[in-house]
Amino acid sequence: MSLTETPADNGAVEVGIATGKKLACLVCAHERFHKRRALLNTRTATFFKLDWANATATNLVCMQCGYIHWFLNP
């Protein structure tokens, strides 16, 4: 899924999704998020010390309630 970001105040972003709609928090309907990246660790890669090779995901954390929305990066 393609995400487009528009900067907002306090380091937040407003996010548009591929359908042309603005993303709203699933819990509180707030429209501003903090963006972060997460590594999707697997036991096998960790065992062989290859964590860097794991897939990543984009996290959008709601600035109002803290709910974390996960998006897998293709």
- CA angle 74/63/69 to nearest 5° reads 30
Q: Dump pLDDT digits (tens) for 4-19.
A: 777 887 788 888 887 7
Class of CATH domain 3-72 = mainly beta
Q: Dump pLDDT digits (tens) for 20-59.
A: 889 999 999 999 999 998 877 777 767 787 777 667 888 9
- Region of 66 please: left (phi>0), alpha (psi -120 to 50) or beta: left
Q: HSE-up of 22 (CA within 13 Å, CB side)? A: 9
Q: Say if residues 40 and 55 touch (Cβ distance below 8 Å).
A: yes
